[in-house]
Amino acid sequence: MMKAVRFYGQKDIRLEDVEVPKCGKGQVKVKPAYCGICGTDLHEYLGGANIMPTTPHPITKEKVPLTLGHEFSGIIEEVGDDVHDIKVGARVTVQPIIYDGTCGACKEGYINCCDKNGFVGLSGWGGGLSEHVVVPRNAVYEIPENVSLEIAALVEPIAVAWHAINISPFKKGDSVLVLGGGPIGLAVVQCLVARGAGKIIVSEVASGRKEFAKQFGAHYVLDPSKDDIVARVREICDGRGANVAFDAAGVQAGLDQAIQALRAGGTLVNIAIWEKNATIAPNLLCFRERRYMGVATYQAGDFQDVLNALSSGQLKPESMITKKIQIDEVEESGFKTLINDKDNHVKILVVVSP
Ligand SMILES: [Zn+2]
């Protein structure tokens, strides 16, 4: 048996003993080292199950209770008979997307938009908050020697930001507005710095998060409760507005401001998961040829790009880790801390096996 943190329902997560999973063909068994707690985990905890399946998931055939943890690094401890290109002892990070590989979206490379998509740590196949997890061989990426297992647990959230920038029209030198200074907004700021943004403007209310945004490289940090965001962004961006904006906040007022803070031809990229529907004024898009687009997680290639950027020193996300806890402290010191003291925390890592 092994220890695993499992989600049962709203405000009900339990550390329990479960069966150790078996490693089959095409699979690898990973011993998780560090696992981050994500905003999605908190949403499930506070109001779930939302995306966690309460009827059998079409691919995993599993349903709640399920093991949590989809942002993790670890060490390969077993490989399937037919797996010859990675060895026991390899240090890896896990790309947790579960996809069928056969639907139209998957065939066109959009595994992140699979008709049946799910995530390790949310939809079955175990998760990073357990002592052992079995995943497909192609879900693991080897960590470069100069990148630690701790940092490798940050690859997943950073890959979300990296991918959003990749599929946006962002070019080096562009002026960018980022809505929200939470973990994803801060990851966007770091990736923008690494990729040569001209001006990076963050809109955030919470004082702790404003400080983090500056620390990670934002050139301007505005407060939507005090500043006129549209006027200030235009002024900072040569009177014209931002080339690209990234919404990592998901609130109506921010959406309205971001559209108007874009220059003609500018693009607003939505990364946020919205709790309710928003309204949009299409004329604001129409008359300035602005665009509004959505992005979902990451695709093949993004994990390797982020690992390369970490190895080369282009990305230095160490200070995103604001606390490390043990697996038996996940609810009290992890979930509850992130909910009650979110201003002072970016990423809490669970030390599963140091
Ligand atoms: Zn598919």
Q: What is the pLDDT of residue 307?
A: 98
How many angstroms does the Cα of residue 284 sit away from the middle of ligand 1?
Answer: 35
* pLDDT digit string, tens, across residues 118-163: 999 999 999 999 999 999 999 999 999 999 999 999 999 999 999 9
Strand partners, 73: 34, 93
How many angstroms does the Cα of residue 60 sit away from the middle of ligand 1?
Answer: 13
How many angstroms does the Cα of residue 170 sit away from the middle of ligand 1?
Answer: 28
Q: Is the pLDDT of residue 354 over 80?
A: no
Tokens 């979300």 identify what position? 160
How many angstroms does the Cα of residue 216 sit away from the middle of ligand 1?
Answer: 36
Domain at 286, CATH number:
3.40.50.720
Are 66 and 93 contained in the same domain? yes
Q: Is the pLDDT of residue 48 over 90?
A: no
Compute how many other C-beta atoms are within 10 angstroms of the C-beta atom of residue 287. 10
Q: Which domain holds residue 34?
A: 2-154+317-351
How many angstroms does the Cα of residue 135 sit away from the middle of ligand 1?
Answer: 17
Number of domains in the chain: 2
How many angstroms does the Cα of residue 104 sit away from the middle of ligand 1?
Answer: 7
Are 129 and 203 contained in the same domain? no
pLDDT tier for residue 80 given thresholds of 50, 70 and 90: very high
Are 286 and 326 contained in the same domain? no
Q: What is the pLDDT of residue 157?
A: 96
Are 143 and 7 contained in the same domain? yes
Ordered DSSP codes for 77-106: EEE-TT--SS-TT-EEEE--EE--S-SHHH
How many angstroms does the Cα of residue 332 sit away from the middle of ligand 1?
Answer: 37
Q: Would residue 306 count as lying in a domain?
A: no
CB 160 within 8 A of CB 297: yes
Q: What is the pLDDT of residue 300?
A: 82
How many angstroms does the Cα of residue 154 sit away from the middle of ligand 1?
Answer: 26
* pLDDT digit string, tens, across residues 50-69: 999 999 999 999 999 999 99
How many angstroms does the Cα of residue 168 sit away from the middle of ligand 1?
Answer: 23
Mean pLDDT over each residue of the chain, to the nearest integer: 96
Q: What is the pLDDT of residue 136?
A: 97
The share of the chain scoring above pLDDT 70, in percent, equals 100
pLDDT tier for residue 342 given thresholds of 50, 70 and 90: confident
Domain at 14, CATH number:
3.90.180.10
Give the separation between CA 166 and CA 325, rounded to whole angstroms.
33
